Amino acid sequence: MIIYLDGEFVPREEAKVSVFDHGLLYGDGVFEGIRAYGGRVFRLHEHLDRLYDSAKTIDLDIGMTKDEMSKAVLETLRRNELSDAYIRLVVTRGVGDLGLDPRKCSKPTIFIIATGWGAMYGDLYEKGLSAVTVSVRRNPADALPPNVKSLNYLNNILAKIEANYKGGDEAIFFDTNGYVAEGSGDNIFVVKNGTMFTPHTLNNLRGITRLVLLEIAGEMGIPVREQNLGYFDLYSADEVLVTGSAAEIAPVTVIDGRKIGTGKPGPFASQLVEAFRTKTNGEGTEIYK
């Protein structure tokens, strides 16, 4: 495996980051998880826009243009001879001292990992995920802006730990007001009586795959409403879906031990996944020109 690290391409065993890097010491940095399908990087520009917006929000100067970053991503894929891949693009605050002050970090650390990637949930796409609601609340927006895709993922990890102990494949967060927020690494959609519902993004990440699903719903004439959702909406749903770059679109058939709908992936899931596959197979930035 070849890693992009601060302008160079190095073997995995030589890709080393300082123990004084604030990304390691404090989770100070931003990242993106991106997918490539059939020799094309899906929604690369949207991912880079979000990366740079996240960095600007935390006053982190990436020091590269979006075009330069795009070329680095594509070259990393070429060096690894990949056509279908998961790409992790990370920008940390960089090397500093043991204090919090980001001004002590003179330049960011940038690395890109590209690896072959199959279905995140394996055969669970066929039978559906089992999710659990967790007691950990999603970080409130006035504490940590949800649309900054930050390296500080402890909130998500705590939810995942709780889900593991409860035997769930995925965790479902609620916000501090008691409404459904998102999964530990994905957005949530509820289907009821032919309409799709999804939480507002004021307290949740504006996921790229979420946006794609909204596009697909519009093209298919499926009504979508953004609104507050609670336990009632989850338990009484006809279908529940989670979306994310890694997870793609995955049906949830059990929540807190209760069957959702028939307890099997429903027709909306099948139609939306098929439409999503059409998009991922036909769109994107070409890797090999």
Longest dimension (CA), the chain: 56
Say how far residue 238 (Cα) sits from the centre of its chain.
25
Q: Of 144, 28, 39, which is closest to residue 90 (Cα–Cα)?
A: 28
Alpha carbon separation from 251 to 48, 127, 255, 272 (Å, rounded): 28, 8, 11, 10
- Write down the pLDDT at residue 12: 97
Bridge partners for 230 per DSSP: none
Query: What DSSP state is assigned to residue 90?
Result: E
- Write down the pLDDT at residue 123: 75
Backbone angles phi, psi at 193, to 5 degrees: 50, 45
Residue 71 annotated as catalytic? no
DSSP structure string for 111-130: EEEEE----TTTTHHHH-EE
Query: Directed axis angle between helix 66-79 and helix 44-57, to 10°?
Result: 130
- Write down the pLDDT at residue 124: 72
Q: Of 177, 176, 183, 220, which is closest to residue 198 (Cα–Cα)?
A: 183
Which stretch of DSSP H or E encloses residue 230?
A: none
Helical residues (DSSP H) of 33-183, grouped into ranges: 44-57, 66-79, 124-127, 154-166
> Which domains does the chain carry?
2-115 (3.30.470.10), 124-281 (3.20.10.10)
Beta strands in 138-237 (DSSP E): 170-174, 180-183, 187-192, 195-198, 224-226
8 Cβ contact list (under 8 Å, min separation 6):
none
Q: Of 200, 194, 199, which is closest to residue 222 (Cα–Cα)?
A: 194
Give pTM, 2 decimals.
0.94
Q: Which two tokens stand for residue 272?
A: 């939306």
Q: Of 104, 160, 111, 124, which is closest to residue 4 (Cα–Cα)?
A: 111
Which stretch of DSSP H or E encloses residue 33?
A: strand 29-37
Q: Please pick, among 149, 192, 259, 264, the residue that the annotation labels catalytic.
A: 149
Query: Which residues does the chain have with pLDDT short of 70?
Result: 119-122
- Write down the pLDDT at residue 121: 64
- Write down the pLDDT at residue 196: 98
Find the length of the chain: 289
User: Percentage of residues in the chain with pLDDT exceeding 90?
Assistant: 94
For the CA atoms of the chain, what is the radius of gyration?
A: 19
Tell me the one-letter amino acid at 107: K
Q: Of 216, 205, 282, which is closest to residue 246 (Cα–Cα)?
A: 205
